[in-house]
Amino acid sequence: MPKSFSFASTPQIHFGVGKFGLLPQLIENYGNTVLILTGAKSFTSSKHWDTLREDLSQSKIEWYHYVIPNEPSPKQIDHCVDQFINANLKAILAIGGGSVLDAGKAISAMLPLNKPVKNFLEGVGTGEIHPGIKIPFIAVPTTSGTGSETTKNAVITEVGNHGFKKSLRHENFVPNLAVVDPTLTLTSPKNQTANSGMDAFTQLVESYLSTKSNLMTDSLAIKALNQLKDGLPQAVHEGLNIEGRTKMAYAAMISGITLANAGLGTIHGFASSIGGKCNIPHGLICGSLMGIVNRITVRELRKKDTTNIALKKYARLGKMFSQKDEKGPNYQIEFFLDKIDNWTEEFQISIFSKSGLEEIQIPMIIKETGNKNNPYSLNSAELEEALRNRI
């Protein structure tokens, strides 16, 4: 019998090749003034940027442009809000990777308040509750990774010794519209495709194994993982393969829905603690730790909690990847764990020492790492074992 659950709203979704062309008419539904957020240059040097500007001019839509070059900081969100507070914006359109989408989500939520965003961040703010009002927000991903186009939180980052990676979160912050056109991801470079793809992989697996998962999130996660199984290697090795890119765009979009409804696990606990200390891409942290954290989880469940449903789920994942239905659960589990390690190597997901994480930072990272909804809660020694395995 399915257990009880609640399911959050999703954006209105337009998915598939060519959907980018719908943007002018979709924006028009909200009004005739839009703020467009993009990353530093990859999108704005593409032909899609020229097409969009021409189409907006033809539709008599007035637009402003603001660049989000890195993961958004509180200072940058506040700066953008200050700049456009009196622009009478009718919609915010974010076109980019997870950082740009998260920035757009936060800016659309902070424009009606004009207060520092940091006040409202989980864990580091003043505890002030956001009333959930915002300017309509349209999310258009150009990478397949974070699934931010379907989530209700924006991750805001302050890097440094007292750095953090914290969320601005509200049910109403789910984007009004997600326009997911895999054509936009065709030019994403190989290492970015690998890192963001491993993020989507981690998010789907963690939400599937999560103690908060339910029949609906499981159904979505399994079908999306089936797309990712073939789509990820295709997208990494043949960047212009639209079939692989479409599979990955779908997997990433669904990973946002499953993580918003089932939560995540220890790997994303690390992503939060490491991400605030070092400037390492989120997807690389997830991809790098995915193998070892899953191995420790399986090892400890086999020792301490052999009837845990997660072990059955690991076996089901293994069967999907091995396609050898006749083999037993232990074979399938090992196949899945080996698959993660093989992909980590094949996609050249580097270890942390190459990315500036230092020995001295380990105790603080361990202290700040939570297990979230992992099916097994790693203790401090096991967290340290996982981290040291990747240094």
Tell me which residues touch Fe ion (CB under 5 A). Answer: 199
Nearer to Fe ion, 199 or 382 (CB): 199
What is the nearest approach in angstroms of Fe ion to the Cβ of residue 356?
Answer: 20
Nearer to Fe ion, 56 or 155 (CB): 155
What is the nearest approach in angstroms of Fe ion to the Cβ of residue 203?
Answer: 5
Nearer to Fe ion, 199 or 218 (CB): 199
Nearer to Fe ion, 192 or 308 (CB): 192
Q: How far is CA 56 from CA 19, 124, 164, 296, 346, in A?
A: 15, 39, 38, 52, 42
What is the nearest approach in angstroms of Fe ion to the Cβ of residue 285?
Answer: 9
Q: How far is CA 265 from CA 174, 210, 221, 342, in A?
A: 21, 7, 15, 21
Could you tell me which residues are beta bridge partners of residue 63? 34
Quick one: three-class SS letters along 305-370? CCCCHHHHHHHHHHHHHHCCCCCCHHHHHHHHHHHHHHHHHHCCCCCHHHHCCCHHHHHHHHHHCC
Q: End-to-end CA distance of the chain, in Å?
A: 44
Q: Are 189 and 217 in contact (CB under 8 A)?
A: no
What is the nearest approach in angstroms of Fe ion to the Cβ of residue 267?
Answer: 8
Nearer to Fe ion, 158 or 199 (CB): 199
Task: Go through the chain and tell me how many residues it has.
Answer: 391
What is the nearest approach in angstroms of Fe ion to the Cβ of residue 249?
Answer: 16
